[in-house]
Structure 1
Amino acid sequence: MLPLSEIARIDATVDADWRSPVADTVAAAWGIAPGAARWKRSSATHVFVVPPDVDPRGVMYLRFVPASLRTVRHLEGPARLLSAWAAAGGGTVAPVPSRAGRLVETVPTLLGDVHATAVPAAPGVERELEDLTPRLAESWGAALAHLHRDAPPLGADDEPPPVDLDALERDPAVQQAARAVLAEVDRAGHPRGTLHGDFELDNMRWSDGVPTAFDADEARTGPFVEDIAAAVRDLVGDSPGHVEQPALLAAFLTGYRGVRPLGDDEESALELHSAAVAVRLLVAIAHVGDDTVADEPAWSRDLRASLVAHRRGLRARVLAATVGR
């Protein structure tokens, strides 16, 4: 999650039509005309969309992050992985090379250097949880299993930094619980490989009942079942020990097993791995309390409040996983 202060910096450059000179500078590296890219959102990266009928390559998404917050390799690894997955037969879009033929560009802008990449729009439509049927959930599970089966191993330079539990030092109870959760994950020794990291419904589009993902920002090596836990958070819900959508979760797992094995011990550890996912998310948003925004606008206050509420739910899941251990 980008700092709120960084999102505010971009917000200050965006005009009433959602254009930004920062995005125009990034867009130029892909031969996109000034004023074409429009701000869509900022979360893990800043995302600007090039709408239909603007570029002959079709709808594209420019995604960039300040060089002060990420290194080039943090974008290059996911970009190469998307390319490999797309070449293996689908499941993801393939990044769009820049005019120089690179998947990632470092671009000087009026706000400093940024690392940027571009992807085409994934085919199809977005699906909300209420749109999901057992058949679609099965297809979703199968798609994640295909990515696990077909992903190349990540090189050492492509791995993200280890999760920094020092970020939780202001909450000693959660920090201790987080250490216990990650230690238990290591002891469990479930099958490992390259993970997508965020194969949720809002990170894909659907065409003919098949999903296509459009980013791999959270890719890393880890237990496959943890990637499942990250994907199905909306099916599991916010209450530890309870599954809100058991039929859809069962369909997802059925689809997954149709492509690659999933042991009963892995399925029974979903609760543990959901807690491990929560640990990572807690670390990712730990900066919110210290992230000050001058003359904070309403959108920033609302986003901050949403993140604080989200943190409470994540905290409860991590603590619940260690009760009685």
Structure 2
Amino acid sequence: MMKLSTMLKVDRTVDKEGQSPIAEHILEQWEHDQGSAQFFRSSTNFVYIFRKGGETCFLRFAESTERTRAEIEAEMALLNFLASQGMTVATPVVSKNGRCVATVETDLGTFHAVVFTQLPGREVEIEELSPAQFEIWGATLGKLHAMTHRYQDPKVAARGTWRDHLTLVRNAVPTDEPRVQAECDYLTSFLAALPVTEMNSGLIHGDFELDNLRWQDETLAMFDFDECAASWYIADVAFALRDLFETGVDLSHPSFRAFIRGYCEQYSLDEELLSHLPTFMRLVNLIIYAKLVRATDLTQDQDYPEWCTSLLLKLENWKQNYKTSLLSIPV
């Protein structure tokens, strides 16, 4: 989630037809049907849907304070590699100058942008999944890790690591929240003591939830690698299954066992690290809380557009829920 102040200044430019001069200006870097760009959503990035010769595409851009160009270039290089290995992923469309990433100066700041074609398929909610689909979900993540395990590219260094996640926590969480800071200290020590091997760690997706996947019959197409980072592969399992374990981790849950069964068909899973899944889920919750703290940088006593006031209230409620969860952990 980007800072709400950043979201507000850009989304204020969107008119009643869903068009924005900022998006139009950025999109000039790519071939497109003039006037076709429509607002789609704002979250971690700004996303607009548009047409190019009858084809549906997405423009994604972020302010330079949110993502560096090097980070995004590393993400695009990974996507192109995965596509070359036969995985169904959203691959970038090159701009008019032949690059995957465009940096554009605007009146509202500097933005880094990419374009993707639309992935076919349907989104499925977790409550709708059959045991066989949980297996497919797990197998797809296992196959992804099998691919990133052998991925070698110098650009990888531009992506974050689990240490950067904890730095985000320390920078975002107020110093007057000692219990949360103590949780960060505990997890830092815990993770620092874990073994790091070529088999149990590497680039992870970072947000392998169902809303970033599309079902194409019995296969899964993947997109939104914006959170990819270097970590233990088991962390990706935690990020993926956080909705399944919303009220607590149950390693005997039938859906979880199906997911792990599918995963292990494609890649080996460290059993010791698997036993630490509850702790990795604590890490996930801590990171989400820190991101919410960072994002809610607007005060509630100002006159904002209705959508912004509503979103601010929703994020504040989520933030309080995550904080309550963190404070409930025994010291």
Deviates more, 1:268-277 or 1:63-72: 63-72
Structure 1: distance between partners of 2:14 and 2:295: 23
Aligned to 2:171: 166
Deviation at 1:261, TM superposition (A): 0.8
Select the residue among 300, 303, 311 that pairs with 2:311. Answer: 303
- The residue identity in structure 1 corresponding to 2:159 is E
Aligned to 1:202: 211
Deviation at 1:130, TM superposition (A): 2.3
Instruction: Provide closer, same or farther for how the CA distance between residues 3 and 166 of structure 1 changes in structure 2, counting only shifts above 3 A.
Output: closer
Instruction: Provide closer, same or farther for how the CA distance between residues 183 and 57 of structure 1 changes in structure 2, counting only shifts above 3 A.
Output: farther
Contiguous gaps of at least 5 residues in structure 2: none
Structure 1: distance between partners of 2:143 and 2:14: 39
| Paired residues for 1:117-132 under 5 Å | 117-132=114-129
Helix, strand or coil at the partner of 1:234: coil
Helix, strand or coil at the partner of 2:193: helix
- The residue identity in structure 2 corresponding to 1:182 is T
Deviation at 1:76, TM superposition (A): 1.1
**1:150 equivalent in alignment to 2:147:** yes
Query: Is the CA contact 1:119–1:214 (under 8 Å) kept in the aligned structure 2?
Result: no
Query: Is the CA contact 1:82–1:215 (under 8 Å) kept in the aligned structure 2?
Result: no
Please list the CA deviations of residues 92-149 of structure 1 after superposition, one character each: whole Å capped at 9, or x if unmatched.
Answer: 2211111111111001223222100111111201111222111111111111111111
Query: Is the CA contact 1:192–1:222 (under 8 Å) kept in the aligned structure 2?
Result: yes
Identity of aligned residues (%): 30
- The residue identity in structure 1 corresponding to 2:147 is D
Aligned to 2:135: 138
Aligned to 2:68: 71
Deviation at 1:250, TM superposition (A): 1.5
- The residue identity in structure 2 corresponding to 1:116 is A
| Paired residues for 1:126-275 under 5 Å | 126-151=123-148, 152-153=151-152, 155=154, 157-160=157-160, 162-163=164-165, 164=167, 165-168=170-173, 169-189=175-195, 191-237=200-246, 239-241=247-249, 246-275=253-282
Query: May I ask how many residue pairs the two structures share in their alignment?
Result: 318
Query: Is the CA contact 1:24–1:36 (under 8 Å) kept in the aligned structure 2?
Result: no
- The residue identity in structure 1 corresponding to 2:232 is P
Helix, strand or coil at the partner of 1:256: helix
Aligned to 1:47: 47
TM-score by length of 1: 0.91
Query: Is the CA contact 2:101–2:113 (under 8 Å) kept in the aligned structure 1?
Result: yes
TM-score by length of 2: 0.89
Query: Is the CA contact 2:145–2:233 (under 8 Å) kept in the aligned structure 1?
Result: yes
| Paired residues for 1:51-62 under 5 Å | 54-56=51-53, 58-62=55-59
Structure 2: distance between partners of 1:246 and 1:301: 38
